[in-house]
Amino acid sequence: MQAAWHQFNVPRVVFGRGTLKKLPEETALLGGKNAFLLSTPQQTGQLHLIRELLAGSDVHVAGIFTEATMHTPVGITEKAIAALNAAGASSVGAAAAGIPSSTVIISIGGGSTIGLGKAISIRTGHAHICIPTSYAGSEMTPILGETADGRKTTRSDPRILPRTVLYDVDLTGSLPQTMRATSGINALAHAVEALYAQNVSPVVGAMAIEAVKSLSESLPKLAVDGNDQKAQEDALYGAWLCGMCLGNVSMSIHHKLCHVLGGSFNLPHGETHTAVLPHSLSYVAPKIPGVMAKLADAFPGSNGDAMTGLNGLLEKLPVKLALKDYGFREEDIDKAADIALSQPYWSPRPLEREAIREVIRRIWAGEPAR
Ligand code: NAD
Q: Is the CB of 109 under 6 A from ligand 1?
A: yes
Q: Which residue of 37, 46, 50, 70 sits with most ligand 1 atoms within 8 Å of its CB, as the best mutation to test the pocket?
A: 70
Contacts of 290 (CB under 8 A, 6+ apart): none
Strand partners, 129: 106, 164
Q: Is the CB of 145 under 6 A from ligand 1?
A: yes
Where residue 91 falls among pLDDT bands split at 50, 70, 90? low
DSSP letter at 348 equals S
Q: pLDDT at residue 92 above 80? A: no
Q: Is the CB of 171 under 6 A from ligand 1?
A: yes
Where residue 8 falls among pLDDT bands split at 50, 70, 90? confident
Residue 149, pLDDT score: 83
pLDDT (mean) for 32-49: 97
pLDDT (mean) for 182-193: 98
Query: How many other C-beta atoms lie within 10 A of the C-beta of residue 256?
Result: 21
CA 126 to chain centre: 22
Q: pLDDT at residue 309 above 50? A: yes
pLDDT per residue as tens digits for the range 321-358:
999 999 999 999 999 999 999 987 899 999 999 999 99
d(CA 284, CA 163): 35
Q: pLDDT at residue 87 above 90? A: no
CA-nearest residue, atom 3 of ligand 1: 112
Residue 178, pLDDT score: 97
Radius of gyration, alpha carbons of the chain: 20
| Domains, the chain | 12-173 (3.40.50.1970), 176-365 (1.20.1090.10)
Residue 344, pLDDT score: 77
d(CA 304, CA 327): 35
Q: pLDDT at residue 6 above 80? A: no
pLDDT per residue as tens digits for the range 137-150:
999 999 999 998 87
Top-confidence residue, 56 or 121: 121
Residue 7, pLDDT score: 80
CA-nearest residue, atom 26 of ligand 1: 110
Nearest atom, ligand 1, residue 72 CA: 32
Measured CA distances, 351 to 222, 240, 260 (Å): 36, 30, 14
Mean pLDDT of the chain: 94
User: Among 19, 12, 16, which residue's Cα sits nearest to residue 236?
Assistant: 16
Q: pLDDT at residue 46 above 90? A: yes
User: Among 158, 157, 62, which residue's Cα sits nearest to residue 101?
Assistant: 62
CA-nearest residue, atom 37 of ligand 1: 138
Nearest atom, ligand 1, residue 132 CA: 15
Residue 88, pLDDT score: 75
DSSP letter at 65 equals E
pLDDT per residue as tens digits for the range 248-296:
999 999 999 999 999 889 899 999 999 999 999 999 999 999 999 999 9
Residue 353, pLDDT score: 94
d(CA 326, CA 31): 45
Instruction: Give percent of the chain with pLDDT exceeding 70.
Output: 96
pLDDT per residue as tens digits for the range 205-246:
999 999 999 999 999 999 999 999 999 999 999 999 999 999
Distance 136 CA to ligand 1 centre (A): 6
Q: pLDDT at residue 9 above 90? A: no
